[in-house]
A = this chain, B = another copy of it.
Amino acid sequence: MLAIGEKINVISKKIGKAMAERDEAAIREMAKAQVKAGANILDINIGSTKEGPARMEWLVKVVQDEVDIPCSLDSRNPEAIEAGLKVHKGQAMINSTDGTAEMLDVLMPLAAQYKAKIIGLTMTKGIPRDATERAAIAVDIMGSAMTHGVDLEDLYLDPLVLPIKVAQNQAIEVFEAIKLFRQLNDPPLKTVVGLSNISNEVFGEVKERLDRVFLVSLMALGLDAAIVDPLDTELMNSLKTEQIFRGDILYCDSYLD
């Protein structure tokens, strides 16, 4: 199970400012805190900015100078993604392509060239209505990966989590999508979610509970990775507990005492 830390994100006031001002210290601090809290990969979300490639290059260098784990390069601009891939040490993750030919034909070749993991978001121009529509897009994404020489082990399908507050009936469609995606290949295709989408516009302890209950549910169904807030201690404790149940962590005596 990969916990992808979400905190280096331009939408955060503090981190957005640090990105704009090239404040290394703030970025390093956030990178270190997430790794200490258990993140296995750090997402770097730069937003849409004219200086995208330069910003991504700078961030990857700063983060990987501070911590020894891979980055997930998060941008709608393929040039920014490639700028990050060029300087990244180890296996990067591309976050993300969707199911449109226009994105697939640019990002899958990049994933193949740089041997990167890649997140395939199962949406096209509109929002998928149910698990079946998500699975149909997943098939296209899988086909594109194979065509462009991306190892299916490096593909992470994202069923697109929608806010429970605006689309309650979509939560169970996401459950079903995870099951369907896993059935598309043997060994099962990997899956990932952007967890906090589920609790969009919900706050406080109810938000935190929504996040952790949803994460545990998806892990029980076989989820392989999630973009999460690793600084949410109870979320990470729940993740670790589910890993004990799934057998991902073999010896749990020290945790239980």
The answer, yes or no, to whether A210 is at the interface (CB within 8 Å) is yes
Contact indicator per residue, chain A 171-194, by CB within 8 Å of chain B (1) or not (0): 110010000000000000000000
Which residues of chain A (158-178) have a CB below 8 Å from chain B?
Answer: 164-165, 168-169, 171-172, 175
Is B206's CB under 8 angstroms from A175's CB? Answer: no
CB-contact partner of A164 in B172, B219, B244, under 8 A: B244
Overall SS of chain A's interface: helix
Is A245's CB under 8 angstroms from B220's CB? Answer: no
- The smallest C-beta distance from A253 to any residue of chain B, in angstroms, reads 8
The answer, yes or no, to whether A221 is at the interface (CB within 8 Å) is yes
Copies of this chain held together in the complex: 2
Is A206's CB under 8 angstroms from B242's CB? Answer: no
Contact indicator per residue, chain A 199-234, by CB within 8 Å of chain B (1) or not (0): 000100010011001101111110000000000000
- Residues on B with beta carbons closer than 8 Å to the beta carbon of A172: 245-247
- Residues on B with beta carbons closer than 8 Å to the beta carbon of A202: 256
- Residues on B with beta carbons closer than 8 Å to the beta carbon of A245: 164, 171-172, 175, 213-214, 217
- The smallest C-beta distance from A179 to any residue of chain B, in angstroms, reads 10
Cβ-closest 7 pairs across A and B: A217-B220, A171-B245, A213-B241, A220-B220, A216-B216, A172-B247, A202-B256
Report the bound CA distance from A241 to B164 in whole Å. 11
Closest to A175 in B: B220
Interface residues of A (CB under 8 A from B): 164-165, 168-169, 171-172, 175, 202, 206, 209-210, 213-214, 216-221, 237-238, 241-242, 244-247, 250, 252-253, 255-256
- Residues on B with beta carbons closer than 8 Å to the beta carbon of A175: 220, 245-246
Is B206's CB under 8 angstroms from A255's CB? Answer: yes
- The smallest C-beta distance from A250 to any residue of chain B, in angstroms, reads 7
Closest to A214 in B: B245
Is A242's CB under 8 angstroms from B213's CB? Answer: yes
Report the bound CA distance from A218 to B58 in whole Å. 44
- Residues on B with beta carbons closer than 8 Å to the beta carbon of A209: 237-238, 241
- Residues on B with beta carbons closer than 8 Å to the beta carbon of A238: 209, 213
Report the bound CA distance from A217 to B221 in whole Å. 8
Q: Given A209-B241, A241-B213, answer yes or no on A252-B220 (Cβ-Cβ < 8 Å).
A: no
